[in-house]
Amino acid sequence: MSLNGCQHLQNYKATTGTETFKIIYSYFITCSTADARRKKAQICKCVKCDVVRPRLHACLSCIYFGCYDLKHIHEHSLEKKHQLAIDVSYGSVYCFMCEDYVYDLELEELSKTQCQKNTLFSGLKQRFFPWEPTEEELILLRCNPKRRRVTEASHIGLRGLINLGNTCFMNCILQSLTHTPILRDYFMADKHACLKNDESEQCLVCEMARLYQEFYSGSRTPFIPYKLLHLVWTNARHLAGYEQQDAHEFLIAALDVLHRHCKEMNGVSGSNPHHCNCIIDRIFTGGLQSDVTCKRCNNVSTTIDPIWDISLDLGPGPIHSSQVLSSIAAAAVNNTSTSQTTASTEFTHSPAPGFTNSPGNYEPTSLVECLKRFTKTEHLGNSAKIICSKCHSYQESTKQLTMKKLPIVACFHLKRFEHSTGYHKKISTFVSFPEELDMTPFMSSSRNNINGHSGPILHSASCDNKYSLFAVVNHYGTIESGHYTCYIRSLKEQWYRCEDHLIKRATAGEVLNSEGYLLFYHKQVLEYE
């Protein structure tokens, strides 16, 4: 194989360009999805033999397929005066005039780029090439010749954030995200590969990656997240402006924007177009199962919705109006012809207000009590009858919400802001929450035990459903005006209180005695998929 290329290939690129090469490479060489492989099997046959043979080549002038062993591609070259072909198995370019495979640096770079794009869009692991430092990285290496060691006295990862004008809500969410262990590891491993070529089209994921780099750079000077704020305003215009915003609303908006940016690069699964494999969905998305049971025939209609958080009512129930209950029941039963449907991740991941279950007339005083009320069976009432798919008539029913799939990071939203007709108020009821949480009793497989039906009680034997607390967001003040702070668990299991640019040590007791508005839990054991 010639390492210097040939004049015939140079002439071809000058007159024809590289578009045909990129098309063949994309569709027939780096086909990594099942659908692409099926198309290759159907199309990639020798035109003369009409069979799939080894060493099949495609003409770079007209994409004619011919086998190399029986010289059919050579015959085509002589007949059409086409001088170049590409091996569809390995991507090597063959010159019929030189009677040899030729190497070209430009085509090699195009093939590497195409391989990276196809592995990203297919959802497969990225093929890694030897690392070559950029000029910026060379400067960083020269300025930091020593390896940084993390000790008990290290403050790496701790950095305050400047309040840009009522942006304490954003600062608390950014602190929580930057100290989410598995998300931190993703960005610190440089897994994000941006495909945006236009510098004017800024990428929010790139800015998040920069935030992690700033936090773990060792600098203790407060960071100013003005670029990230601008990108959030651009992509979530309802949050634009310097008015005080809700931290929970900002969390959902930020996850949604990150999800959309990641989805553009990762694509969707070929077998399920509604399944997203981006890092946001893999970490934060859980499955909420809703079972609506007909009281006449006990027929159960099940829907599963993707969620990014669980919103829990704190006030005395019941909260649902008949109209809301009716709409939930209709969504669960009337819109599905089968016993189970799976909601698309294209929908808003956070449950709608109707998904906050709250039967009973007591105020919960702990997170576990909130979850018990959330997953308790609820009678929908005579005014919220559903059309039973088995009875084929309107019937009374019960509804129960349980967790079908647990996320890696579970976020619980304690609904402290109550908006009713004519007044708005903040619920300051103390709700205790544990450092370790077992979600086994609230799984769909455990719902009979939750309802008190017969059967063995499931104890917390499985570590797969256990979580550890790592961040707490608190709100101080009234519903009209207030201030957000947060606690984060950093390296060495040490807690810190973050209030904009101020960071100070805290104890576990201080964290557990705080009011709590958003609670972030991380799975203790991760499953391989």
Average pLDDT of the segment spanning 361-382: 86
- pLDDT at residue 356 above 50? no
> How many alpha carbons lie under 13 Å from residue 296 in its C-beta half-sphere?
13
Whether residue 502 is predicted with pLDDT greater than 90 in this model: the reply is yes
Domain presence at residue 29: yes
Cβ-contact 522, 467 below 8 angstroms: yes
Q: Residues of the chain with pLDDT > 70: what percent?
A: 77
Looking at the domain assignment, is residue 26 inside a domain? yes
pLDDT of residue 153: 64
Catalytic residue among 82, 379, 483, 501: 483
Q: Can you give the pLDDT at residue 487?
A: 98
**Beta strand pairing call for 65-67 and 84-87:** unpaired
Range scoring the smallest mean pLDDT among 66-70, 141-145, 273-277: 273-277
- Count of beta carbons in the 10 Å neighbourhood of residue 153: 6
Per the DSSP assignment, residues forming a β-bridge with 485 are 474
pLDDT at 118: 64
The token pair that represents 116 in the structure block: 């990276």
Q: What is the pLDDT of residue 147?
A: 67
Q: Count CB neighbours of 323 within 10 A.
A: 11
Query: Does residue 27 fall inside a structural domain?
Result: yes
Query: Does a structural domain hold residue 416?
Result: no
168 counts as catalytic: yes
Per-residue confidence (pLDDT) for residue 343, from 0 to 100: 32
Range of 32's domain? 7-122
| 528 or 416, which is more confident | 416
The mean pLDDT of 474-494, rounded to a whole number, is 89
pLDDT confidence bin for 379, thresholds 50/70/90: confident
Residue 477, classed as helix, strand or coil, is: strand
Three-class DSSP category at 335: coil
What pLDDT does residue 298 have?
87
Q: Is residue 17 part of a domain?
A: yes
Model confidence pLDDT, tens digit, residues 425-447 = 889 989 999 999 999 999 988 76
Residue 121, pLDDT above cutoff 70: no
Residue 101 falls within a domain, yes or no?
Answer: yes
Q: d(Cα 143, Cα 96) in Å, to the nearest integer? A: 52
Query: What's residue 201's pLDDT?
Result: 59
At a CB cut-off of 8 Å and minimum separation 6, what does 105 contact?
5
Is 52 a member of any domain?
yes
pLDDT(273) > 50: no
C-alpha radius of gyration, the chain, whole number: 29
Whether pLDDT at 410 is above 90: yes
Tell me what pLDDT residue 470 has.
Answer: 97
- Across 53-67, 308-322, 471-485, 506-520, which has the greatest mean pLDDT? 506-520
> Domain with 110 in it: what CATH number?
3.30.40.10
Residues 160-183, mean pLDDT to the nearest whole number: 94
Q: Which of 162-166, 188-192, 313-317, 501-505 has the lowest mean pLDDT?
A: 313-317
The confidence band for 341, taking pLDDT boundaries of 50, 70 and 90, is very low
**132/127 Cα distance (integer angstroms):** 15
Average pLDDT over residues 221-244: 88
Which position among 168, 262, 276, 388 bears the catalytic label? 168
Range in 145-159, 252-266, 471-485 with the lowest mean pLDDT:
145-159
Q: Is-catalytic flag, 483?
A: yes
pLDDT at 295: 86
Q: Has residue 235 been placed in a domain?
A: no
- Can you give the pLDDT at residue 119? 57
Q: Work out the pLDDT band at 51, boundaries 50, 70, 90.
A: confident
| Partner residues linked to 474 by β-bridges | 485
166-170, 299-303, 329-333: which range is least confident on average? 329-333
Global model pTM greater than 0.75: no
Read off φ and ψ for residue 213, nearest 5 degrees: -60, -40
Split at pLDDT 50, 70, 90, the class of 483 is very high
CA–CA dist 28, 427 (Å, integer): 61
- Distant-in-sequence, close-in-space partners of 170: CB < 8 Å, separation ≥ 6: 225, 229, 232, 245, 247, 250
List the single range of 148-157, 265-274, 378-387, 460-469 with lowest mean pLDDT.
Answer: 265-274
Mean pLDDT, residues 462-475: 90
The domain total for the chain is 1
